[in-house]
Amino acid sequence: MTILWRLFVVALLSLALWPEFPRYEAEWRLNDANFRIDQALRMSQSAARSGVEGTDRAALRQVALAETQAAQAAAALPGDPRAILTRSIALIMISRGADAVTLLDAAIAAGERPEFTINLGRARTTLGDEAGANAAYLRTAWASPQAIATLPKAMRDDFQRQVERLDAQLRAGQLSAPPPLGAASSSK
Mark whether 167 and 126 lie in a shared domain: yes
Mark whether 28 and 88 lie in a shared domain: yes
pLDDT tens digit sequence for 29-47: 999 999 999 999 998 888 7
Region of 128 on the Ramachandran plot (φ > 0 left; ψ -120 to 50 alpha; else beta): left
Nearest Cα residue to 67 out of 106, 47, 40:
40
Residue at 142 is within a domain: yes
Say whether pLDDT at 112 is over 60: yes
* Interacting residues of 166 by C-beta distance below 8 A, sequence separation 6+: 142, 175, 179
Mark whether 119 and 89 lie in a shared domain: no
Write down which residue in 37, 63, 95 finishes a domain: 95
Mark whether 27 and 86 lie in a shared domain: yes
Work out how many domains the chain is built from and give that number.
2
Residue at 105 is within a domain: no
pLDDT tens digit sequence for 113-144: 999 999 999 999 999 999 999 999 999 999 98
Write down which residue in 65, 95, 125 finishes a domain: 95
Mark whether 27 and 90 lie in a shared domain: yes
Residue at 130 is within a domain: yes
What dihedral do alpha carbons 116, 105, 131, 182 form, nearest 10°? -110
Mark whether 41 and 91 lie in a shared domain: yes
How far, in Å, are 20, 121, 154 from residue 33 at the CA level? 20, 22, 31
Q: How far apart are CA 100 and CA 185, in angstroms?
A: 10
pLDDT value, residue 187: 39
Q: At what angle do helices 21-50 and 81-93 cross, to 10 degrees?
A: 30
Q: How far apart are CA 188 and CA 174, in angstroms?
A: 33
- Residue 55's pLDDT band, with cuts at 50, 70 and 90, is low
Domain range spanning residue 77?
Answer: 23-95
Amino acid, single-letter form, for residue 136? A
Mark whether 119 and 179 lie in a shared domain: yes
